[in-house]
Amino acid sequence: MLNDAIRLALPPGILAQAPERESEPRVSFTNQLIVCEIHDVIAYGNSYIVKGAGTSRMLATVLMDTSGLPIGARDATMLTPGAKVLCYMSDDYYPTIMGVLPSPVGSPLVGAPDSITAAAKVGLYGDPAHENIITSDQNCFINFADGRPVDNVPGDWGKFNELGMGVFLGKFMSFMRASDICKLETFYLDNLLRLFAYNYQHYTACSETEAFNDEGEWTNISSSTPYPWEALGFPSQFATDFDKGNTSPLDGKFGIEPKEDNQLGLWRIRTFEGFLGEGRRTIVCVPDISATSVNVYGNMPYKGVLEEHIGLDGAYTLRSAKSIMFEKTIFIPIPTEIAPRDNPEGDTDFDNAAGIGETLVEFPNPTIANLDDKIAYDQQKYNTEGLDLRTKDWEFNEDVMIGGLVVEQDPLTPYSDFESVKPTVAEEDIDHRKKEKYYKGRSFFGFTDDGGFLIETADGSTLRMVNGNIELSCPGDTVVRAGRTVQTWSGRDVIIKAHKSIDVSSATEDVRIKADRNLMALGGNSGTGGVLVENRAVEGSYFPGMDSSGQDDANNPNIGGLLLKSARGKFSVIGDTLHLRSTGGDLVLDGSDGDQDIVLFGKEYKRYLKQKSLEVISASSADIEDGSSEDSSVIEHTRSQYALTVGPTLFSTPTFSLLNQSADGNSSAFLMKGSISLDGAAISTGGFTGDGPSNAGAFSELKNELRQLQNTSFTELGVDAETYLRDPASIGAISEYVGVSFRASDKLSLGTMKIYEAPWQRRFRKTAEISAGGKYGGSVFVESIVHQRVDNDGNDTGSETMPFPGKLAWTSGEESMFVQYDPKFYNMDSTGGTPKPKSDGYDVGTLEDAVEGPFEAQYPIND
């Protein structure tokens, strides 16, 4: 008879009790242990239907090692039908299963038992101590393992099922497993933990990770968001409701369970590793926070703002819609926790625990001038926004640097050596084995928000690619070396300025300078110096632009001398004193191969000759060379002889007339040392020589022409050379209006061009200002005025000009182009360099304004 209390505790019909009826007396097994077989199991009722030899089917329970009450730990182990159990029979209680009797397997090799550790050298197949007992028929060994692991050793405890799943506690190892590739192992020795997962999933309040083998393609996907409502798939408009525990407009089902069966989280950072990432791909994305529904498959549009990809082929890609920064520095403030996160005295705002609406002001779009401020602000304020908004829980120590240093980099001052000195170095104890050296100095590599590119080194050198321009700047030397060719192509102008000298040389071949309009060169602008164009080569064997055979060869000219050529215009040489000298060969003046005049115009004309003079007048250039033609006149004068030969063309007669006439028109005697040879008659004013006075009329005509020539100017006679020399438009007349000048600032099409003070210039200036008592006292770029021209008396005249960027930009505020900027968030002065502490304030609304001015007396150089 069942105990009434127990009967009432069982659900109706669970035992399918029949109405009580009278039965025949049965053998009593009270207070006995009998062997029964389990026929059925009522698992959720912790009950068994058992039957023993000579008994009817009975309801039995099992002996437990827990409290057996609704509170406390409870055993979930259930026996299976068919098991042989040992039951204790009692009149006061149900039959109680005291234990399970193992069933003999028969042969020790029957079945496929599991193992605790794969390939273990102990147990059924690896126990040499009991090998004879197991394999000998005489010992009548019977295998009662019932599928237990074959590598059990004394002292082991565990539970295993027929699928190999189980928990185990051994002497030095414990585990919980589903299989050999899905388990958690812990080891006593070395305190080692191993986690095996063929497929893996991990979930937290705001993240999830899945690693899986999808039909032979393995992928690991990690997703996270800072906000728990987004992890549930709700946009930010429901954040306030979530924070305060209220229901949302989504039909009141805003809670832990998803509203939709296929509801997904709004993940801001996702990493794909393996097949779907083809290596590894991390994406930072911005969800549509204005959405009015939860996120389900294919529902929420994302905007990508960063991607990092490591390809299986070794390719690396980093893309960002914002800025990218890499910095070497010794100043990295570390956050320190000052209160536990669950401390009610800390940042626990129960009305706004999620910090809705709390954010820092972003730095405005920077200019070239305040990039240092932008970097300091981002890396010390904006990038640490979460910590900065939790000042009751976290703080930054802003004074601790590596090696006990107090500034990030040394002050920068001008230096004369090719290389600057190394910055200060400090040593830091890294661990018990070694120290490491750390140099002062900040270097930076980054891409700005607007797509610019910046490299800055510790010595102030910079490479800037911003606003469509490239700027390369350094306090020392800029060296460009090429193994072959250096090319510079400019769509407009090429500007080269030097504070001292400019040297251009070609080691083995030519230097060419070409101008499609004017080619100007100026020397001696300071009042000293000059212009030297020198050739030291021996004259070439063939003409420039031709090879030795006379064929055109523009690719390999052999000039072999100094040539000045103006084939399409006038060639003029103007100087206070003009001296032409040939050092080895002839001095030749050629009037277009005898077709144009050679005019000498001066107060006096003097010739000093060491050997002789020769003058040939002929219609043929060839005859001029040797004077052999009869149609020519030759005058040759040596130290011992004066020979005059006149061709018949002078008076259209072979007669030679000789006249010696004084300035008053009176004839005088003709005196000559030496001999005179005539082809014809010699005629004098007092008589005739030779054949008679047949040419007296011609001679008289010549005398009249000579008298007229003495009293008449060249201009009146219509001489072209005199007209050229007296013409106001000629080079001679306008020589004082000729000169080298530079374009004005407003003629250079500079537009809004600004030249910003480089970081090294700023550090020069700030250091020198402090040492000089507030005013910069270092070396500056000095540019002298270039007047438009110099008159014939040597006086500067005309407009004042200066090289690029022009006089106005250099000397006055009318075209201020030089921009100076003193950072607000970053120190650059004689105390060194370091971002200013946050305690000084990071109010971007009070950024310093850049100061524009002329270049004169304020453009620092490393002189």
Write the single-letter amino acid at 819. Answer: V
Q: Which range in 436-445, 705-714, 822-831, 835-844 is most confidently predicted, on average pLDDT?
A: 436-445
Which residue from 105, 86, 106 is spatially nearest to 96, judged by alpha carbons?
Answer: 86
Of 192-201, 462-471, 693-702, 802-811, give the lowest mean pLDDT range: 693-702
Alpha carbons 706 and 301: distance in angstroms, whole number? 108
What are the helix and strand counts (H, E) for the chain? 12, 39
Q: Provide the terminal-to-terminal Cα distance of the chain, rounded to the nearest Å.
A: 115
Bridge partners (DSSP) of residue 308 are 282, 318
Burial readout 189-211 (b: 16 or more C-beta within 10 A, e: otherwise): eeeeeeeeeeeeeeeeebbbeeb
Q: Name the pairing type of β-strands 182-187 and 173-179.
A: antiparallel
Give the HSE-up count for residue 439: Cα atoms under 13 Å, Cβ half-sphere: 10
d(CA 368, CA 256): 50
pLDDT band at 106 (very low <50, low <70, confident <90, very high): low
CB of 460 within 8 A of CB of 475?
yes
d(CA 560, CA 272): 72
Position 714 scores a pLDDT of 41
CB 808 within 8 A of CB 746: yes
> Could you give the CA distance from residue 390 to residue 353 in angstroms, rounded to a whole number?
11
- 3-state SS, residue 462: strand
pLDDT for position 702: 45
Which pLDDT band holds residue 656 (cuts at 50, 70, 90)?
Answer: very low
Predicted confidence at residue 33, as pLDDT, reads 93
pLDDT exceeds cutoff 50 at 709: no
* Average pLDDT score over residue span 477-482: 94
Q: What is the DSSP letter of 45?
A: G
Nearest to 421 by CA among 412, 433, 408, 434: 412
369-427 confidence digits (pLDDT tens): 888 888 888 888 888 888 888 888 888 887 788 888 888 888 888 888 888 888 889 99
Torsion angles phi and psi, residue 382, rounded to 5? -70, -40
Task: Report cis status (omega within 30 of 0) of the bond before 333.
Answer: no
Can you give the pLDDT at residue 150?
A: 83
Cβ-based neighbours of 12, under 8 Å, separated by 6 or more = none
How far apart, in Å, are the Cα atoms of 317 and each of 273, 280, 306, 307, 422? 15, 11, 10, 8, 34
Taking alpha carbons only, the member of 355, 233, 360 closest to residue 299 is 233
Mean pLDDT, range 784-798, rounded to an integer: 87
Where helices occur in 221-310 by DSSP H, the ranges are 228-231, 239-244
The residues near 260 (Cβ < 8 Å, ≥ 6 apart) are: 233, 294, 296
Q: How confident is residue 467, by pLDDT bands cut at 50, 70 and 90?
A: confident
Q: How far apart are CA 153 and CA 186, in angstroms?
A: 18
Give the closest residue to 181 by CA, choosing from 146, 157, 152, 213: 213
Sign of the alpha-carbon torsion through 394, 400, 402, 403: negative
Q: What is the pLDDT of residue 667?
A: 42
Classify residue 839 by burial, with Cβ atoms within 10 Å: 0-12, 13-18, 19+.
Answer: exposed
Average pLDDT over residues 151-172: 89
DSSP state letter for 718: T
Nearest to 38, CA basis, from 83, 70, 5, 6? 83
Instruction: Write down the pLDDT at residue 835.
Output: 85
CA distance 8 to 760: 93
Q: What are 189-236's pLDDT values in tens digits?
A: 999 999 999 999 999 989 999 999 999 999 999 999 988 888 888 887
**Low-confidence winner among 250-254, 590-594, 804-808 (lowest mean pLDDT):** 250-254
- Percent of the chain scoring above 90 in pLDDT: 30
**What is the distance, to the nearest Å, from the Cα of residue 688 to the centroid of all Cα atoms in its chain?**
102
Computed over every residue of the chain, the mean pLDDT equals 79
Chain position carrying tokens 């400090």: 426
pLDDT in tens, 447-457: 988 888 999 99
Query: Averaging pLDDT over each range in 260-269, 384-393, 556-565, 596-605, which range is the top one?
Result: 260-269
Q: Identify the band that residue 776 occupies on the pLDDT scale cut at 50, 70 and 90.
A: confident
Cα-based distances in Å from 799 to 216, 740, 802, 807: 83, 11, 10, 10
Tell me the torsion sign for CA atoms 645, 649, 652, 657: negative
Q: Yes or no: say if 225 and 214 are a contact pair by the CB < 8 Å rule.
A: no
pLDDT value of residue 683: 53
Residues linked to residue 270 through DSSP beta bridges, in sequence order: 223, 283
Instruction: Supply the pLDDT for residue 296.
Output: 87
Q: Specify the pLDDT at position 252.
A: 47
The enclosing H or E element of 835 equals strand 832-835
pLDDT-based confidence at residue 747 (cuts at 50, 70, 90): confident
- The better pLDDT of the pair 208, 642 is held by 208
Highest mean pLDDT: which range of 237-241, 306-310, 754-758 = 306-310
Model pLDDT, residue 70: 79
12: its two tokens: 């109706």
pLDDT score, position 630: 60
Give the span between the Cα atoms of 147 and 153, in whole angstroms: 15
**Alpha-carbon distances of 603 from 292, 453, 600, 613, rounded to whole Å:** 103, 69, 10, 22
